[in-house]
Each structure stands twice: as structure tokens, then as C-alpha cells.
Amino acid sequence: MPFSNSSELSPSFLLASIPGLEAAQAWLAIPLCSAYVLALLGNCAVLLVVRAEPSLHAPMYLFLCMLATIDLALATATVPRILCFYWFGSREIGFGACLLQMFLIHALSAAESSVLLAMAVDRYVAICHPLRHAAILTNGATAKVGLLAMARGVLFFLPLPLLLLPLPFCGSRALSHSFCLHQDVMNLACANTTPSVVYGLTAILLVMGLDAVLICLSYLLILKAVLRLAAWRERLKVFSTCIAHICVVLAFYVPLIGLSVVHRFGKDLAPLVHVVMGNVYILVPAVLNPIIYGVRTKQIQRRILSLIHVADRTPR
């Protein structure tokens, strides 16, 4: 039934089901819920460990706490609503709720991209200018970077829902994902969406695109500095401090690029690909980030193991 956001009835969209597997969605939601719980436990553990361990009160781990907080917010803004749909059949999402979810996804993703750039700069300064690292990246400066990252995401992506707000929507209400994305909602509008298209692409290029270029530049400079070291053992030791961050960058940008490619060039792909890529984009960074840093950081490993040991010895 055609609808418009100016009509008396509140407009709504239909979240995408799993094509061909609608009858089994309740069971397929179990691994999705498990991944969400794992993301909650992992990121909360990182926050608690860094807070409790004074040796981790350094810029790199404060940035890691920012990543954990963003991942928790991003997963919580999407996964519970998806589970309500899969388990209880609540497929319809209101226009306002959809725009809010869309804004949170894009703004938080932009903030995460900014934090990843800040972590790359932190690694560059620590390796290429170690004597100046403590003076440049103080805890106060790190906190300001976190606030700037969040403000950057809000300012760049707040216009996206505002540009969609006055548009009429008609025809199909079905989204391509189990949550709301700007490209997805915009394609359902039956009006000229050129300003929204241009601004959305510009915002993505100026935030995620620019951040990706600057991260690559940081690592080229780091690689150049590492190759100046005489011994291979020293080169490997210095560069190994960047391995965790490189893995986290890949865990964020690979699903982001994959989802963008599917939206731009995957119109002929099966609907299942869109649903799966959307869920991967939301959950993979949130699940992998604490695992990656937990494996690579001995202090986090020791603290978590000590907490588990204390819990096992607690009398019941």
C-alpha cells in the first residue's frame, strides 16, 4: 500500500527476512543472539580490565575502550530489534525509529573510523617519535580525540535523516537488510534523491574514505621507519606492536567495503547476500575486536585469567 511520511498514518518500513528460510528464522536467530552476547561480554570485559589495571591507563588502551563502547552501542542499536523480528515476527519498523537507527549506525561507524585513525597515529608516534609520544598523546589529549571522533560522526551524518525526512515514500516498503541504512531507505523514496545521494557519498568519502587513506599513510611511514632498523629481529619486534591494530582495521573496513560494493553494484545479487553482509558489518567488528586485543595483549590476558581464577575459587 502506498504511504507517505506526511500522511495521517505513521509510515513504516518492513525489515528484510532471511530469503527462503523464513520458517527457520527463530532457530537462525540463536547464533545471531550468541554473537551479540559474545560481543557484549568481550567488550565489557575489555572495559572492566582496562579500568582495573593501572598499567593499561595509556592512550592505546583508552582508544581500545572507545572502540569497545562504540561497538556495544552499535550492536545494541541494531541486534535486539533484529531478534524481535526473528523471534516474534515484529517486522514493521516506524519511520522515526528507522531514521534514528540509521543515524546511529552511520554516526557510530564514523566515530569508530575516527578512533581507528587515532590509534594508527598513536602507533606512528610511538614508533617513529618515541621520545615525544608521552608529551603528544597524554590522557587528556586522548579524551579530547574521543569527543572529537563522536562529534565528527554526529555532525557529518546528522543531515542524512534530515534530508530523508521531507521525502514522500510510496510503493514497496521492504528494506534489503534487517535494519535501516541510508542507501536502503533512500532507494524507497518516490522523489528526487540527488541531494541525499550526493551528500551521503560525500560524507562517506570525507570520513571513512579519508580515514582509510590516512591510516594507510601512517603504516607506510611506520614501515619505512621499521625498515631502517638493522636487525630483522628488531624489525619484527617493533612491527608486531601494530599487528592487533591492523587486524582491527581490517575487521572494520573489509565488511564496510563489502557492504558498500553490494549496495552499489549488487542489485542482481540474491537478497540473502544483502542480509548476510549487513549482519556481518554490524557484528564482526564487535565480536572480533576484544578477541584480537585479548590475544595480543598479555596484560589483558593475565587480568581476565585472574578474574576467572578468582571466580572459580569463590565458594558457592
User: Mean pLDDT lowest for which of 142-146, 229-233, 252-256, 285-289?
Assistant: 229-233
Q: Tell me, what's the pLDDT at 18?
A: 75
Are 189 and 167 in contact by the 8 Å Cβ rule? The answer is yes
Of residues 220, 291, 212, the one with CA closest to residue 254: 212
Q: Phi and psi of 269, rounded to 5°? A: -75, 160
- For 232-261, b/e burial (b = at least 16 CB within 10 A) is eeebeebbeebebbebbbebbbebbeebbe
- In angstroms, rounded to a whole number, what is the distance separating the alpha carbons of residues 177 and 275? 5
| 92 bridge partner residues | 14
pLDDT of residue 1: 40
Per-residue pLDDT, 3 = 44
**Average pLDDT of 198-214?**
94
User: Confidence band (pLDDT; 50, 70, 90) for 75?
Assistant: very high
12: helix, strand or coil:
strand
Confidence band of 203 (pLDDT split at 50, 70, 90): very high
pLDDT: is 4 or 123 the higher one? 123
H or E segment to which residue 92 belongs:
strand 92-94
pTM tops 0.75, yes or no? yes
190: pLDDT confidence band, cut at 50, 70 and 90? confident
Percent of all residues in the chain with a pLDDT value above 90, rounded to a whole number = 43
Other Cβ atoms less than 10 A from the Cβ of 28: the count is 13
Model confidence pLDDT, tens digit, residues 266-296: 667 777 787 888 888 999 999 999 888 877 7
State the average pLDDT for the chain: 85
Q: Which among 215, 25, 188 is positioned nearest to 112, based on CA atoms?
A: 215
Question: What average pLDDT score do residues 191-212 get?
Answer: 92
Check if the beta carbon of residue 13 is closer than 8 Å to that of residue 185. Answer: yes
Q: How confident is the model over 7-51, as pLDDT tens digits? A: 434 578 888 877 777 677 788 889 999 999 999 999 998 998 888
Give φ, ψ of 28 to 5 degrees: -70, -20
pLDDT band at 202 (very low <50, low <70, confident <90, very high): very high
Rounded distance between C-alpha atoms, residue 28 and residue 33, angstroms? 9
Give the mean pLDDT of 193-201.
91
Angle 72-73-77 from CA coordinates, rounded to 5°: 120
Q: Tell me, what's the pLDDT at 311? A: 52
Polymer length of the chain: 316
- What is the end-to-end Cα distance of the chain in Å, rounded? 59
pLDDT in tens, 94-135: 999 999 999 999 999 999 999 999 999 999 998 888 888 888
Burial class of residue 201, CB neighbours in 10 A (0-12, 13-18, 19+): middle
SS3 304: helix
Q: Which domains does the chain have, with CATH numbers?
A: 23-309 (1.20.1070.10)
- Write out pLDDT tens, residues 213-251: 999 999 999 988 888 876 787 778 777 778 888 999 999
14: enclosing H helix or E strand: strand 12-14
